[in-house]
Structure 1
Amino acid sequence: MTLTITISDEVRSLAPGFTHLAVEARGLVNGPSDETSSALLDDAAHRLAGRLGARAPHEDPHVAAWREMYAAFGAKPSRTRNSAEALARRALTNAGLPRINRLVDAYNAVSVAHLLPVGGEDTDRIRGAMRLVRATGLERFPTVAGGEDAVEHPEPGEVVWCDDEAVTCRRWNWRQGARTRLTEESVNAVFLLEALAPMKSSELVAAATELIESLEKLSPGVRTTLHAPA
């Protein structure tokens, strides 16, 4: 499958300073969280604490920019935090960062250490192109509510990731759907790293490089490709 990622004109108009990098990985070996993936998370939490000092995550300029962007498309950033802020807040609590599986741990560690949203999708479950669009409100978002399968619909104007089948992530990078998430059986994936000004392109590249290094450590022999926006 040829990986295709597009950003709609409506999103570009809303966020002219938005940029992203995609790390495509094939031949991954996933599994339950282990000492190696847990060490990545512990190191990320330590780096985060040093980066923030006495500040709260939302006081970081990049996180603050994401809060402003959420408000711009109608979300309440104090209620629906972007994934990087939500993880950072957990990293600073006694509970610490969750352990999900080796691949999710790897990209969560990069997200926390660099304070930027990072997501991972199983490319074998993606249908057609991945698109970042402003929703009409009619799109389907399959999810789980109260332990049962359910279907939600995004708010009109909400920024969502979707493929040809349905929404894969709501409110830009807030809540991922179950259909395309990385499981212990995933072998092919794409990881999306998303940035707004004032984050510099060099910082985004450094985060992507770190993620590739982690994937190579967890899955020797993995084949990775870094895709920049067209």
Structure 2
Amino acid sequence: MQFSHSDAIWQAFPELRAGALCADGIDAAADVEEAVASFSAIAGARLAEAQESEFPEIQAWRRGFSRMGLKPTQYRSASEALLRRFRQECVLPRLHPLVDLCNAISLAFAIPVAVFDTKEIAGDLQVRHATGHETYLTFGGQSEHPEPDEVIFADGEGRAHARRWTNRQSGLSAVRETTRSVLIVAEALHAGAGEDTARLVATLAEALARHWPVTVATAALSRASSRFELQA
């Protein structure tokens, strides 16, 4: 399985930098509360100084959404949505140890982090523009078709695993109790995105190793090095 961004995405967003990680050996029994609290505290300290809308990482995604023809206060990047909820409620709901950990790291870095169950991905996964014929499964079980030219995560069978790029993932490949192998992707558009996504992925790899007996592989993605071959 290969993960990549299409040439058209790199042409439209040359400032994009991404980090990817695949891990095998996940389960739902790990206790990540201490790590979640630590990463959440980092976000809390930053939010005490400024609202998330003032963060350069969030501002860059807002500009990106505007370039995609989306109103950025209607469709927010996943990291902005998490930060906004955390600022208002001071806590995020607990869903699964891996998802909780990734959400907390996303808070700390203000960078979107997507987590996919690789068993639910057919063939390769690519961030690309939609044709309008792809199918997307909501968390409520409804099937949708992304708009033509919408940026999606699409697999080899034309299934969209995320809509509006970093806005909303699909219920199809969401992490659940039976998940064992995952692909995790962090993407950023701000100045310094390469260094920050690399640091995020290294932090995540270390956190995973502390909580699960995982086998991990990572990659830093840019236009010059745009493909990640996942372990079999």
Tell me the TM-score normalized by structure 1: 0.90
1:1-230 correspondence runs (5 A): 3-31=1-29, 36-94=31-89, 96-145=91-140, 149-165=141-157, 166-219=159-212, 221-229=213-221, 230=225
Unaligned runs of 5+ in 1: none
Give the % identical residues: 30
Please tell me whether the aligned partners of residues 16 and 193 of structure 2 are also in contact (alpha carbons under 8 angstroms): no
Unaligned runs of 5+ in 2: 226-232
Please tell me whether the aligned partners of residues 21 and 201 of structure 2 are also in contact (alpha carbons under 8 angstroms): yes
> Per-residue CA shift, 1:134-193, capped at 9, x if unaligned?
112221112244xxx321111222111110130000011111111111111111111001
Could you say if the C-alpha distance between residues 200 and 133 of structure 1 is closer, same or farther in structure 2, counting changes exceeding 3 Å?
closer
Decide which moves more: 190-199 or 92-101: 92-101
Please tell me whether the aligned partners of residues 18 and 194 of structure 2 are also in contact (alpha carbons under 8 angstroms): no
Alpha-carbon distance in 1 for matches of 2:87, 2:124: 36
Q: Which amino acid aligns with 1:173?
A: T
Q: Which amino acid aligns with 2:63?
A: E
Please tell me whether the aligned partners of residues 198 and 220 of structure 2 are also in contact (alpha carbons under 8 angstroms): no
Structure 2 counterpart SS, 1:113 = helix
Structure 1 counterpart SS, 2:26 = coil
- Give every structure 1 segment of 4 or more consecutive aligned residues whose post-TM-superposition deviation is greater than 4 Å: none
